C-alpha cells in the first residue's frame, strides 16, 4: 500500500488580509515563511517595512489583487536606484485606471514611509506608513 501524501499547504488569512479576500479577487497566494525565517529575510534590507505589510507576509508570502496588482513576497522584494534615491520595492501597480508604478520604502529609512514610484518617471509620491491604505488608494480600490 502506498503512503498517504501529506495534505497540501494552505494559506490561512488571519489578519486584515482576510477583509481583502472578501472584497477583492486574491490569487497566487503563497504559503508564508515561518516567523524566524521571515524576520531573517526582511532583516537583509536596510529599511523598516510597514507593520501591516509584515502582517500580510505572515498570512501569505505575496499575492495578486484583482489580476492587476502584485504584492511581493519575500523572494520578490528588490531594491532599485532612482534619481530620488534608493528604494526597496514591495508591490507593483498595473491598473486600468491608468496608474502604473511601484510601491516601495526608501532604503535606509527607519520610519516605514511608503512611496509611489511611477513608471512614467518624475518625483516619488509619499503614501504614508499604512501599506493597506497605500495599496487601496494607488490601486483605485477605494
- Count CA within 13 A, CB hemisphere, residue 65: 27
> What pLDDT score was predicted for residue 22?
92
DSSP letter (8 states) at residue 58: H
Task: Specify the CATH class of 17-138 in words.
Answer: alpha beta
The answer to whether the CB of 16 falls within 8 A of the CB of 26 is no
pLDDT higher than threshold 70 for residue 92: yes
Q: What is the pLDDT of residues 38-75, one digit of tens each?
A: 999 999 998 999 999 999 999 999 999 998 899 999 99
> What pLDDT score was predicted for residue 19?
93
Residue with more model confidence, 15 or 120: 15
Give pTM, 2 decimals: 0.88
Amino acid at each position: 500500500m502506498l503512503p498517504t501524501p501529506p495534505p497540501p499547504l494552505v494559506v490561512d488569512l488571519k489578519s486584515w488580509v482576510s477583509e481583502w479576500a472578501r472584497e477583492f479577487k486574491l490569487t497566487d497566494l503563497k504559503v508564508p515563511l515561518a516567523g524566524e525565517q521571515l524576520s531573517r529575510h526582511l532583516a537583509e534590507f536596510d529599511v523598516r517595512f510597514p507593520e501591516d505589510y509584515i502582517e500580510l507576509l505572515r498570512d501569505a508570502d505575496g499575492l495578486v489583487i484583482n489580476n492587476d496588482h502584485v504584492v511581493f513576497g519575500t523572494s520578490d522584494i528588490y531594491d532599485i536606484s532612482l534619481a530620488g534615491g534608493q528604494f526597496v520595492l514591495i508591490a507593483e501597480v498595473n491598473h486600468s485606471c491608468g496608474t502604473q508604478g511601484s510601491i516601495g520604502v526608501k532604503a535606509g529609512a527607519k520610519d516605514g514611509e511608503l512611496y509611489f514610484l511611477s513608471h512614467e518617471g518624475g518625483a516619488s509620491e509619499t503614501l504614508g506608513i499604512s501599506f493597506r491604505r497605500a495599496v487601496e488608494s494607488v490601486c483605485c480600490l477605494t
